[in-house]
Amino acid sequence: MGRGKDKSGPLARRPDNSAFKQQRLPAWSPMLTANTVLPFFYFMASICMLLGVWLLLTVQSTQEIKMDYTEAGTCDKCFEKRKNVSKAGESCSCTVVLSVNKPFKGDVFFYYGLKNFHQNLRRYMDSRDDGQLVGRKKNLKNPSSYCEPFIKDQNGLPIAPCGAVANSIFNDSFTLTYHGSSGASVRVPLLRRGITWYTDKNVKFHNPKMDNLTLAQVFDGTAKPLYWHKPAYELDPISPNNNGFINDDLIVWMREAAFPNFKKLYGVLLRANKPFTQGLPAGNYTIDISYNFPVQYFRGRKEVVLTTLTWFGGQNHFLPIAYLVTSSLILLAAVILTVVWCKFGKNVKNMEE
């Protein structure tokens, strides 16, 4: 009787007799020598330095003015008023003066900024109902439990939009006025529509289907967030098509910031009529502010930012400086290696042999 194959022996565990499994494939192992490594180091240092200088010049071509208005001008009274919770619903207006010494040429963007406001906390970021924001009617009346404790008001009505993110929306408003050399005052036209991303306005945010109803009727049976002054269907009285979950200000706010100090777009200069066809002229400006958003509770600050943009964005020096620092480190390493090679090159060559 012939013996059967031993399937449990060492031969059964031997890899197949192929070039790949038996490691017979041709291979190339580079020899790292000074003649190959040092030119590469100098080349990478040159590339990083050129990119850093180019990006730095690009960033410096932008113009930017920041103003902290938390307690500036006549806003100190509003700041003190917002400390009182019982007066949170009362309106308060103030004015700050802004000087533009050099004309802003081209498109000018108006931002509001917050400091020490942490939108990146996990519980805060999760406190929203994306199904509600995308227009699902079942989520309108039955919000997700993620929205707790901002899911229902004191009367038990579901909140729309629910959650901590929507509840804490920034609700200051601004009116920018230009005071020309002739003494005339002109209101600066700001485009307040179309400031959102295409994917936000057309994919992530939708109002529920109206079915021949008005938007107010669709939202009937829901309550506004606790700290809102108006319900969602009345956010923009001038443009009814900008109400509900497709309101530009709401969409911009719902895109959470990654850092505690951030700015968000409020409007873009409308360059249709003089004297703003070329941009923002130099001169004195006043900003009339409807001061609603309190910052005392998180020790924050508020600011307005006027800036121009390039293809690279606004005035952000992090990436150019990072390239320049990287270039300096690579160049330093290359110089040290070159000195070592020049001093001990013969000994290293003997070691290689």
The verdict on 150 and 233 lying in the same domain is yes
Together in a domain, 91 and 205: yes
Amino acid 287 reads: I
In a domain, residue 181? The reply is yes
1 is a domain residue? no
By three-state DSSP, how is residue 314 classified?
A: coil
Residue 245 maps to a domain:
yes
Residue range 80-93: average pLDDT?
Answer: 77
268 lies in a domain? yes
Cβ-based neighbours of 159, under 8 Å, separated by 6 or more: 143, 147, 150, 151, 152, 153, 167, 222, 223, 224, 225, 226
Q: Please provide residue 109's backbone torsions phi and psi, each rounded to the nearest 5 degrees.
A: -115, 135
Side chain identity, residue 173: S
Asked, for residue 5, whether it belongs to a domain, the answer is no
**49 plus 77 within the same structural domain:** no
Q: pLDDT tier at 353 (50, 70, 90 boundaries)?
A: very low
Positive or negative, the Cα torsion across 249, 118, 292, 289? negative
Q: Which pLDDT does position 346 carry in this prediction?
A: 57
User: Rounded to whole angstroms, how far apart are CA atoms 114 and 96?
Assistant: 17
Q: What is the pLDDT of residue 5?
A: 53
Q: pLDDT for 248-285, tens place per residue?
A: 999 999 999 999 999 999 999 999 988 999 999 999 99
Does a structural domain hold residue 262?
yes
Domain shared by 68 and 188, yes or no: yes
**pLDDT tens, position by position, 302-345:** 999 999 988 888 888 899 999 999 999 999 999 999 998 888 87
Q: Are 127 and 201 in a shared domain?
A: yes
| Range with the poorest average pLDDT among 80-84, 149-153, 239-243, 253-257 | 80-84
- Asked if residue 91 and residue 42 are part of one domain, the reply reads no
334 in the same domain as 217: no
Residue 6 lies in a domain: no
**pTM to 2 decimal places:** 0.81
pLDDT at residue 237 tops 90:
no
In this prediction, residue 9 has a pLDDT band, given cuts at 50, 70 and 90, of: low
Split into its structural domains, the chain has a count of: 2
Following DSSP, what letter does each residue of 90-108 receive, concatenated? S--EEEEEEEESS-EES--
Q: Are residues 281 and 184 both part of a single domain? A: yes
Contact criterion met (CB below 8 Å) for 189 and 269:
yes
177 and 202 within one domain? yes
Does 183 share its domain with 217?
yes
For residue 17, being part of any structural domain is answered with no
Based on the domain organization, do 119 and 262 belong to the same domain?
yes
Are 117 and 218 in a shared domain? yes
Mean pLDDT, the chain, integer: 89
Alpha-carbon distance of 2 to 222, in angstroms, equals 85
What's the domain range around 192? 64-309
Query: According to the model, what pLDDT value does residue 265 have?
Result: 96
Asked whether residue 76 carries a pLDDT value surpassing 50, the answer given is yes
